[in-house]
């Protein structure tokens, strides 16, 4: 314990360098003292620090975390005398990556249907589905994403039996049993091509189904006297405003026969129509985006977020004027279907230039740990004539503070703002560069293990020597 | 133009250039002995290189594709061929256009050994789903080139963003034997014949594991198990050997392909994930006397690098895909590095119309994952994973895949180190013709499909 009170100076990269030669990737855990399940106080000095707020990285800067929260980040920061300090020379320090629209914790093997909870085509329910009880914090994909620097995510299922996918959650990727930070954080609906097919075969069907669902929900909410204002439930990790689950209320809301939604689904949509739960709308084509923005005139309280938005650049000014944020597919540039004919990698750059708030959609890439690479590609566009890219700081914000803000967590995570969660990633180089990777990951100030099935296989097959015993004994 | 170039050029360069194209017969077919007639080699390539100016790239860092690299290098090409590669002191003949590459990088054209552009083109509508003839577990009689839609916009993105100058289009993996592949020059054309890589051998796609047994087991027919996969394969090879040894009077399209494999004229590209299955396939190849040129998607190659080195079989792999199916569960990002250290052949492939635009970044990720476990692989070697190694596994390495005197002038000028996320192709030449130039808005291909549509001619 005394060691924890004594400032220590360790070189993060120096430690790593030696370990690389020794080939013991796990041994650097413990470079900070007092590792345990509790948040530790720490400071990292002489690092290149990116705060995630859109600003450019700061050289020779310091980050201080105490009690699981960021205390300070930047140049000229003084480290309190009792905070253990590491020399971060050569490293980059950022907030943890925030991945929007993932399916983390919902599947083990994609094609192994029994292990895959990302869709539920045969369920009698749609909007009522809630991912929270299905999320497995021990999923390898959570472990692997965490090792890639992803510390927070939104999780949702895919629309499959209906245009409504159900209710998504906000999670942390910490090494503990309590992954869900906020359940029922948002509802997801598919409009456009996919929504049209799910609704019965056309975009008209999707829009009719959608309007009817909101009408039924509004009616149900009135009859059931479900409050439009958030009620309190048992406090969770950071859940200070989690509303009651309207599905579980029974206020004797009589229902006529002219209903398409189950009672459970209608109840689940009450917070959507009341505007207390954001509605994430999957939409790609410019015309479909306009149609979605127009919904606000019919349902003024809708709290919309657009997802996908491949043709957003064609209607960027409309989106900006609506103040609706966007979780955009990052690098789509092919006419994958007839609603994405205008796809270009410059889409995000053009939307941002028009004043749209844009986060990168993790669902548009194969793995959430690709987010920094995709953000880096948007920076690369700055050097391509006529293309629109992002500055480095903007790109980093699009995978940290902006997705946090869209999730309603501005200032709580996704940036190194004082008071934000101590989600800190130390990288061995520019985090957006393909050659870089995390060397340390902290969530709420707790250093996280970064081993997983992949690292165990790597260590076993470091050589192919079986002269003494089969590989099965090498563990 | 490559063939015309042989006639025009004089001296040793011309001899080298012509011999490396396999003593082509002028109709673009490989010349194994006598020239083949249209009946013997139908659907022949009609590709001719487009005109290009004699060009001198100067001042750039040059990765030659064979593992070499030169700072402040000079690359000369003319008449569609690489004329010389050297340092700053290399004399530039009169009449060459100088392109300043200071601060930039030059590589051979990037080659994707595993693509479905054209046979699964965008827009990805059902009407375009032409990659799997999933009506029989063995369809060696189908040829991918008969499915390729040359107007697939994906070809243009692969050129402009990925620097792709040649690629192999494979049938899908529903079948144990999916049919013949076709190797293309990434040059826009009205016809697939106008894209066919002159002199490239055919490949044949095979698939192990989950896909064939799922597709056919689901239809209540063989194979429904992995042992069924092998039984169907072995019987098919036995029948093919009998056909090959016979008089071949009655033509059999499927067996002609298989006989071509047994004769070594057609290269096997085998989709296979698991190490134990790859080891069994290598034994099946021995049993019937053919060679596996490359295992594709080989996520578990790192477990049998020694066997793959011994058999001279390349692993065509992603950097870090894993987990999407049971046989991909053990994929690890260090696969490429572990294979390289073992001395086995590494090829980075895409199998994807988006990732084909970033093969350079995939290679860079694989390199970095190796370095973090103590395996240092030079940038120049990593570039060979995308150039000479796929060319070898596709049987076109005598013609392209490296910046070597006499080879096709398939060249990419990158605006930064291609192993950096921040780099993009600035100019791409195919056979010495400038087909993409980021600094010239009009020097980018636009597919017929995109004309008059939103975003026509946009930066993509």
CATH of the domain at A325: 3.20.20.140
Contact of B266 with B254, CB cutoff 8 Å: no
Q: Do A213 and A319 share a structural domain?
A: yes
Q: Tell me the nearest-neighbour CA distance from B440 into chain A, angstroms.
A: 9
Quote the pLDDT of residue A256: 75
Q: Tell me the nearest-neighbour CA distance from A109 into chain B, angstroms.
A: 5
A456 touches B: beta carbon within 8 Å: no
Q: How long is chain A?
A: 475
The answer to whether residue A244 is domain-embedded is yes
Q: Which residues 327-356 in chain B show a CB within 8 A of chain A?
A: 328-334, 338, 342, 353-354
Q: Which residue has the tokens 């012509």?
A: B18
Q: Do A312 and A182 share a structural domain?
A: yes
Q: Which residues 226-265 in chain A show a CB within 8 A of chain B?
A: none
pLDDT range class, residue A37, cuts 50, 70, 90 = low
In B, minimum Cα distance to A21 occurs at B374
Quote the pLDDT of residue A243: 67
Residues in chain B within 8 Å Cβ distance of A466 = none
pLDDT range class, residue A25, cuts 50, 70, 90 = very low
- The tokens describing B47, both together, are 């590709």
Q: Do A117 and A89 share a structural domain?
A: no
Contact of B275 with B304, CB cutoff 8 Å: yes
For residue range A197-231, what is the model confidence (pLDDT) as tens digits? 999 999 999 999 999 999 999 999 998 888 654 44
Contact of A446 with A174, CB cutoff 8 Å: yes
Quote the pLDDT of residue A224: 87
Q: Which residue has the tokens 């509004």?
A: A218
Quote the pLDDT of residue A11: 67
Quote the pLDDT of residue A14: 58
| DSSP notation for B194-241 | TTB-TTPPPEEEEE-THHHHHHHHTTT-S-SSHHHHHHHHHHHHHHHH
The answer to whether residue A425 is domain-embedded is no
CA nearest neighbour of A353 among A308, A320, A307, A311: A320
Contact of B186 with B430, CB cutoff 8 Å: yes
A377 touches B: beta carbon within 8 Å: yes
Residue of A344, A434, A460, A472 to mutate, testing the B interface (most B Cβ within 10 Å of its Cβ): A434
The answer to whether residue A120 is domain-embedded is yes
Contact A334 B353 (CB under 8 A): yes
Contact A385 B439 (CB under 8 A): yes
Q: Do A111 and A54 share a structural domain?
A: no
The answer to whether residue A336 is domain-embedded is yes
Q: Is the peptide bond before B123 cis (omega within 30 degrees of 0)?
A: yes
Q: How long is chain B?
A: 460
**Containing H/E element for A453?**
helix A453-460
Contact B421 A458 (CB under 8 A): no
Which one of A345, A380, A437 has the shortest CB-CB distance to B421?
A380
The answer to whether residue A458 is domain-embedded is yes
B389 touches A: beta carbon within 8 Å: no
Q: Do A216 and A275 share a structural domain?
A: yes
For residue range A271-288, what is the model confidence (pLDDT) as tens digits? 999 999 999 999 999 999
Dihedral over Cα of A334, B165, B63, B106: its sign:
negative
B183 touches A: beta carbon within 8 Å: no
In A, minimum Cα distance to B211 occurs at A111
Alpha-carbon radius of gyration of chain B: 21
CA nearest neighbour of B304 among B283, B322, B325, B324: B283
Q: Do A47 and A116 share a structural domain?
A: no
C-alpha to C-alpha distance for B58 and B60, rounded to whole angstroms: 6
Q: Do A350 and A445 share a structural domain?
A: no
A433 touches B: beta carbon within 8 Å: yes
- The tokens describing B381, both together, are 């070697």
Q: What is the ipTM of this complex?
A: 0.92
Q: Which residues 144-163 in chain B show a CB within 8 A of chain A?
A: 153-154, 157, 161
Q: Tell me the nearest-neighbour CA distance from B184 into chain A, angstroms.
A: 20
CA nearest neighbour of B216 among B135, B312, B109, B328: B135
Q: Do A212 and A79 share a structural domain?
A: no
Provide the domain count of chain A: 2
Q: What is the mean pLDDT of residues A230-241?
A: 45
Quote the pLDDT of residue A24: 36
B438 touches A: beta carbon within 8 Å: yes
Residues in chain B within 8 Å Cβ distance of A428 = 372
Residues in chain B within 8 Å Cβ distance of A334 = 122, 153-154, 157, 353-354, 460
B305 touches A: beta carbon within 8 Å: yes
Domains of chain B, earliest start first: 2-450 (3.20.20.140)
Which one of A23, A381, A385 has the shortest CB-CB distance to B373?
A23
Quote the pLDDT of residue A226: 82
Cα B119 off chain centre by:
15
Quote the pLDDT of residue B365: 98
Quote the pLDDT of residue A2: 39
Residue of A27, A457, A460, A471 to mutate, testing the B interface (most B Cβ within 10 Å of its Cβ): A457
User: A211: domain range?
Assistant: 97-413
Q: Which residue has the tokens 């004082």?
A: A418
Burial code of B276-287, b = ≥16 C-beta within 10 A, e = fewer? ebbebbbebbee
B320 touches A: beta carbon within 8 Å: yes
Contact A337 B210 (CB under 8 A): no
Q: Tell me the nearest-neighbour CA distance from B411 into chain A, angstroms.
A: 19
In A, minimum Cα distance to B210 occurs at A111
Q: Do A140 and A26 share a structural domain?
A: no
The DSSP bridge pattern shows strands B182-185 and B177-180 to be unpaired
In A, minimum Cα distance to B324 occurs at A110
Residues in chain B within 8 Å Cβ distance of A381 = 424
Quote the pLDDT of residue A244: 76
Q: Do A152 and A200 share a structural domain?
A: yes
Which one of A141, A337, A384 has the shortest CB-CB distance to B124?
A337
Q: Tell me the nearest-neighbour CA distance from B406 into chain A, angstroms.
A: 32
> What is the edge-to-edge ordering of all strands in the sheet holding B110-115?
B110-115, B164-169, B182-185
CA nearest neighbour of A57 among A88, A11, A98: A88
Q: Which residue has the tokens 């939104």?
A: A154
Q: Do A437 and A288 share a structural domain?
A: no
Contact of A25 with A19, CB cutoff 8 Å: yes
Pairs across A and B, CB distance < 8 A: 157
Q: Tell me the nearest-neighbour CA distance from B457 into chain A, angstroms.
A: 10
In B, minimum Cα distance to A141 occurs at B323
Residues in chain A within 8 Å Cβ distance of B458 = 342, 344, 346
Residues in chain A within 8 Å Cβ distance of B320 = 367
Residues in chain B within 8 Å Cβ distance of A343 = 455, 460
Contact A334 B416 (CB under 8 A): no
The answer to whether residue A428 is domain-embedded is no
CA nearest neighbour of B104 among B412, B378, B320: B412
Which one of B322, B369, B424 has the shortest CB-CB distance to A383?
B424
Nearby residues of A319 by Cβ (< 8 Å), 6 or more positions away = A289, A293, A306, A309, A312, A326, A351, A354, A356
The answer to whether residue A13 is domain-embedded is yes
Nearby residues of A284 by Cβ (< 8 Å), 6 or more positions away = A192, A193, A308, A309, A310, A311, A337, A339, A340
Contact A342 B453 (CB under 8 A): yes
Quote the pLDDT of residue A253: 78
Does the pLDDT at position A18 exceed 70?
no
C-alpha to C-alpha distance for A49 and A59, rounded to whole angstroms: 6
The answer to whether residue A420 is domain-embedded is no
The segments of chain B whose pLDDT lies below 50 read 1-34
Alpha-carbon radius of gyration of chain A: 23
Contact of B395 with B166, CB cutoff 8 Å: no
The DSSP bridge pattern shows strands A42-49 and A85-87 to be parallel
CATH of the domain at A33: 2.30.40.10
C-alpha to C-alpha distance for A182 and A241, rounded to whole angstroms: 9
For residue range A63-77, what is the model confidence (pLDDT) as tens digits? 999 999 999 999 999
C-alpha to C-alpha distance for A116 and A139, rounded to whole angstroms: 11
B265 touches A: beta carbon within 8 Å: no
Q: Do A308 and A185 share a structural domain?
A: yes
Ramachandran region, residue A149 (left: φ > 0; alpha: ψ -120 to 50; beta: rest): left
Contact of A97 with A438, CB cutoff 8 Å: no
Does the pLDDT at position A233 exceed 60?
no
Contact of A200 with A208, CB cutoff 8 Å: no
Q: Is the peptide bond before B319 cis (omega within 30 degrees of 0)?
A: no
Contact B439 A464 (CB under 8 A): no
For residue range A164-187, what is the model confidence (pLDDT) as tens digits? 999 999 999 999 999 999 999 999
In B, minimum Cα distance to A392 occurs at B422
B413 touches A: beta carbon within 8 Å: no
Contact of B106 with B57, CB cutoff 8 Å: yes
């Amino acid at each position: 314990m005394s060691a924890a009170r004594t400032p220590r100076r360790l070189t993060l990269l120096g430690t790593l360098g030696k370990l690389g030669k020794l080939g013991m990737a796990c041994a650097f855990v413990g470079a900070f003292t007092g590792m345990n399940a509790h948040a530790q106080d720490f400071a990292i000095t002489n690092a290149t620090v990116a705060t995630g707020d859109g600003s450019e990285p700061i050289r020779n800067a310091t980050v201080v975390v105490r009690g699981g929260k960021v205390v300070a980040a930047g140049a000229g920061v003084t480290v309190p005398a009792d905070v253990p300090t590491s020399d971060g020379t050569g490293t980059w320090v950022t907030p943890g990556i925030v991945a929007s629209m993932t399916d983390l914790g919902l599947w083990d093997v994609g094609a192994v249907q029994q292990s895959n909870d990302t869709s539920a085509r045969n369920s009698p329910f749609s909007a009522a589905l809630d991912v929270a009880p299905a999320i497995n914090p021990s999923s390898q994909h959570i472990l692997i994403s965490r090792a890639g620097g992803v510390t927070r995510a939104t999780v949702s299922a895919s629309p499959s039996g209906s245009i409504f996918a159900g209710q998504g959650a906000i999670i942390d990727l910490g090494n503990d049993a309590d992954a869900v930070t906020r359940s029922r954080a948002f509802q997801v609906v598919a409009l456009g091509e996919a929504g049209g097919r799910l609704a019965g075969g056309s975009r008209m069907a999707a829009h009719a189904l959608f309007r009817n669902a909101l009408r039924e929900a509004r009616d149900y909410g009135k009859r059931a006297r479900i409050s439009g204002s958030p009620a309190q439930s048992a406090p969770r990790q950071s859940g200070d405003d989690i509303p009651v689950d309207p599905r579980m209320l029974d206020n004797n809301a009589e229902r006529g026969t002219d209903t398409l939604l189950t009672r459970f689904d209608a109840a689940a949509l009450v917070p959507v129509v009341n505007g207390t739960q954001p509605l994430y709308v999957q939409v790609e084509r410019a015309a479909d985006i306009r149609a979605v923005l127009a919904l606000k005139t019919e349902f003024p309280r809708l709290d919309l977020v657009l997802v996908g938005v491949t043709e957003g650049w064609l209607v960027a000014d409309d989106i900006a004027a609506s103040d609706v944020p966007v979780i955009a597919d990052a690098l789509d540039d092919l006419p994958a279907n007839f609603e994405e004919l205008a796809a270009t990698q410059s889409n995000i750059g053009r939307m941002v230039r028009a004043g749209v708030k844009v986060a990168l959609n993790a669902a548009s890439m194969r793995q959430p740990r690709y987010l920094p690479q995709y953000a880096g590609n948007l920076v690369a566009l700055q050097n391509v004539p006529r293309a629109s890219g992002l500055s480095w700081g903007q790109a980093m914000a699009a995978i940290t503070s902006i997705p946090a803000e869209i999730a309603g967590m501005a200032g709580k995570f996704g940036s190194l703002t004082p008071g934000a969660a101590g989600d800190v990633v130390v990288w061995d180089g520019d985090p957006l560069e393909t050659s870089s990777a995390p060397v340390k990951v902290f969530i709420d100030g707790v250093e996280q293990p970064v081993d997983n099935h992949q690292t165990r296989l790597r260590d076993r097959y470091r050589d192919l020597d079986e002269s003494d015993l089969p590989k099965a004994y090498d563990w | 133009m490559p063939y015309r170039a042989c006639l025009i050029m004089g001296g040793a360069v011309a001899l080298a250039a012509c011999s490396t194209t396999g003593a082509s017969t002028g109709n673009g077919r490989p010349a194994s002995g006598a020239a083949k007639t249209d009946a013997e080699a139908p659907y022949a390539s009609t590709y001719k290189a487009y005109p290009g100016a004699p060009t001198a790239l100067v001042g750039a860092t040059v990765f030659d594709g064979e593992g070499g690299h030169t700072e402040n290098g000079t690359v000369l090409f003319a008449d569609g061929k690489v004329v010389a590669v050297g340092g700053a002191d290399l004399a530039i003949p009169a009449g060459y256009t100088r392109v300043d590459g200071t601060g930039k990088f030059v590589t051979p054209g990037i080659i994707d050994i595993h693509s479905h552009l054209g046979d699964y083109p965008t827009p990805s509508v059902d009407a375009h789903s032409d990659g799997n003839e999933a009506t029989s577990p063995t369809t060696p009689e189908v040829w991918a080139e008969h499915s390729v839609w040359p107007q697939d916009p994906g070809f243009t993105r692969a050129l402009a963003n990925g620097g792709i100058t040649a690629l192999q289009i494979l049938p899908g993996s529903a079948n144990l034997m999916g049919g013949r592949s076709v190797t293309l020059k990434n040059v826009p054309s009205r016809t697939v014949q106008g894209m066919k890589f002159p002199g490239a051998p055919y490949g044949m796609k095979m698939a192990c594991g989950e896909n064939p047994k799922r597709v056919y087991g689901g239809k209540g027919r063989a194979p429904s198990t992995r042992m069924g996969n092998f039984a169907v394969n072995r019987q098919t090879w036995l029948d093919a050997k009998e056909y090959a040894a016979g008089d071949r009077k009655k033509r059999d399209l499927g067996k002609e392909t298989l006989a071509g494999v047994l004769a070594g004229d057609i290269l096997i590209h085998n989709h296979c994930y698991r190490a134990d299955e790859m080891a069994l396939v290598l034994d099946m190849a021995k049993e019937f006397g053919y060679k596996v040129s490359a295992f594709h998607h080989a996520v578990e190659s790192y477990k049998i690098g020694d066997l793959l080195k011994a058999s001279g079989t390349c692993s065509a792999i992603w950097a870090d895909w894993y987990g999407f199916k049971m046989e991909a569960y053990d994929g690890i990002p260090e696969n490429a590095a572990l294979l390289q250290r073992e001395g086995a052949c590494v090829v980075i492939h895409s199998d994807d119309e988006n990732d084909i635009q970033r093969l350079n970044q995939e290679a860079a990720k694989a390199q970095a994952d190796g370095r973090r476990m103590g395996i240092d692989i030079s940038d120049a070697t990593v570039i060979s994973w995308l150039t000479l190694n796929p060319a070898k596994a596709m049987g076109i390495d005598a013609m392209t895949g490296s910046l070597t005197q006499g080879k096709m002038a398939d060249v990419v000028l990158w605006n930064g180190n291609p192993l950096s996320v921040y780099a993009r192709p600035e100019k791409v030449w195919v056979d010495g013709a400038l087909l993409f130039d980021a600094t010239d808005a009009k020097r980018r291909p636009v597919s017929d499909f995109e004309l008059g549509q939103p975003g026509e001619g946009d930066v993509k």
